[in-house]
Each structure stands twice: as structure tokens, then as C-alpha cells.
Amino acid sequence: MKKIIFMLMFIPLLSMAEESGIIFEHDVSWQQILDKAKKENKFILLDAYTTWCGPCKWMTKEVFPKPEVGAVVNPKYVSTKFDMEKGEGLELAKKYEVRNYPTYLFFDPNGNLVHRSLGSMPAEDFIRVCKDALDSTKQYVTLRQKYLKGQQDSLFLREFAFVAENAQDSLSKIAMMKYFKANNNQLNSNTIQFMFALTSSVRDTSFNILLHHKEEFYKVIGKDEVDNRIEELVWSEARKASKKGTDPEAFKKVIQQYIPEKTEMLSAEFEMSLLWRKSNFKEYLPKALAFVDKYCQNDFDRLDGIATNLLEYYKDKTVLQKALKMALRSVELKSNFDNNSTVAQLYNKLGDKVNARLFAENALALAKQEKAETFDIEKLLKSLK
């Protein structure tokens, strides 16, 4: 009898826990969502996802269940999810030009698209996006209409360019350069920060400005951040040129074109990445160890990345100890949430619970400073009690 009473008490508590975040409508048609929104006079939030999308899974696990997110979304929205590669999702993806995941589509109570955004983001940023979608002065579609009707003053161009970038609208780049022209093509603190934030491809006009005026950007943004962004964008272009790794020489040519001084290192890193994607862990390991020795004894980010890979897929204690050495060096160079978390997990996997807890506590404190999600590290700490 006690067991039955306990189960009856537990079921409502479980339901409350499930509904503390966003309440999504499941197993319904798009027309049913439209009808419900109109009847209740609510906006619609559509989470456009795919089953293979890592950032989609991260948002579902880390952001959507948060009570503060549910508190903002549930009173104003009818929320739903559609797999863009199945059923009605295929038609919705085509109609609303959904090409990247996750994409968030926002509709007014009459079913008109008013706003869109994409990508994984912290809860506070997602809350801001959801609030902006309710505000006609910040909605992507509304601002786009104003832009096309000729509103192009400097302040408006700046606002529209950011919103259009989040919506993956190519007009963002045009608006960005119009804003630069409206500021007399001057590289100052405002225009540099603006262009840096919106440059997302080596094909952007602003990328050439960045590449040929690095010193000015260094002064405003910082050398490491600028160099990392250039490398990231060049890597992305080179990876496309390689045709999914089938043409490594094409990858190398792109690197040589933009950052020739990094050709050897990035080509070696690309070779490692191909082995990793093929799950060829036997060949990956010696190349990773050699890469660390040759290129990244003073690169905290790469050290942590390789240590994380070794943590994830290797059980041999000798390998894990080498990974720990990398992760500890990363912390020594620049202590942050990611590398402290990596060290904590490695110590835990090696059976050192004391040091695992110490670095997990460090990671948790840093996560709060960096506004990172804490679910996994809190779970680790609980297991170490």
C-alpha cells in the first residue's frame, strides 16, 4: 500500500518537473498548431530540428527545460517541434527556407512569420530572442520590410544587420557595408566591433577589410580573438574546398592563400580531424600526440580539445594520463570552465576522486562566471559525494 501511495504522489511531481520549462505540443499537425494559436491569441514558437543535430540536442537538454525559459515562453507562445527531415517538417523546411539547425521560427497568432533565429545559445540569450519576437520594433520580418521600403539610416542599418544575420539573410552583409559607408568608411571602435561581429565568411567584403587592417582590429578586439576568428573562417572555407576531405590539397591551397604561416599546422590538424570523423582512433592517437608536442604546448584551447577527445574515446590509463597532462597544461595557460571540467573528468576516470572533485568545483565556479551551462558538471559533482 505504501508503495502505491508513493507512486501516486510521485506522478504529479514528475509532471510538474517536465512542465517547468517550455511546454511543447507533440504529435499534432501544423494546422492544429495554427488553430490553437489563433484561438488562444498566442504567438507560435517552432523549433526546427533534425535527429542528427548536436546543437539541437543540447538545447533540448540544457535550455528548453529551464524554469526561467518556460516562464517567458509558455504564457505567450504555443510551442512545437518538427523534424525538418520527416513528414510535415519537409514542407515547412522548404516553405520557410530552413537550411541550418536548430532554427527557431516565430509566428504571430494569425500564422504570419515575424521572426527567426538559429543556433545553440545560453538560456538568457534564448529568452532575449523570444522576447524580441514579440516586439514589432525588433522582429526580423518587420525590420526587413522597413529596410526594403528604404529606411536606411545608420542606426537602423546597424540594428537590421544584426537581426538579419541571426536569420541568415544575405541582406545582413549588404546592410553592414552600407553602415560602414554611412560612417565614411572609417575604421573606429564602433565600426570595427560591428564588422567583426558580423563577419562570418572569407567571402564577406568585411573579411578582406579585417585581413588587411589587422592592427586596427587588434587594438579594439584583441590579437588572440582576431587571429582565432581569421583562422576559424579560413578553416571553414578550406574544409568546404576539400570536398569532405576527399581533396586535402584543395584544403591546403586555401590556407596558403589567407594564412600561409599556418599551412603546415592546420594541414596536420585537418588530417587528424579526418581520422577522428572516420573513428580511426588507432591512427588518430599517435598523430594527436605528435601534434601536441610540435604545435600546441602553449595553446590552451587545442590542448583541451585533444585531451577531451582522448577522454571520450580511450580507456587505457597511459593514454588518459597523457590527456590529463595536456588538460593540466591547458589550465596552467588559461584556466576556464572547459579545461577544468576536462581535468575533473579525467581524474574521475583515473580513479582520483579527490582531485576530480577539486577541479569539478573549480569548473562549476567558472561556469557561473562565464555563464556556461552547468548540468553535466553538477551531475559529476553529485556522483563524487
Residues marked active site are found at 53, 56
Question: What is the grid cell recorded at 298?
Answer: 602553449
Which residues, other chains included, contact 323 with Cβ-Cβ below 8 Å and sequence gap of 6+?
Answer: 306, 307, 310, 311, 314, 346
Question: Dmax of the chain from CA atoms?
Answer: 79
Rounded CA-CA distance 231/233 in Å is 6
DSSP conformation letters of 161-191: HHHHHHTT-THHHHHHHHHHHHTTT---HHH
For residue 193, give every residue at least 6 positions away whose Cβ sits within 8 Å of its Cβ, in sequence order, or none.
Answer: 220, 221
Q: How many helices (H) and strands (E) does the chain have?
A: 21, 5
Residues 297, 329: Cα–Cα separation, whole Å: 8
Q: Cell match 591546403: residue?
A: 252
CA 100, 104, 110, 111 dihedral sign is positive
Range 191-199, long-range pairs (CB < 8 A, 24+ positions): 192/216, 192/217, 192/220, 192/221, 193/220, 193/221, 194/158, 194/161, 196/220, 196/221, 196/226, 196/229, 197/162, 198/161, 198/162, 198/165, 198/172, 198/173, 199/229, 199/233
Phi, psi angles (nearest 5°) of residue 47: -90, 105
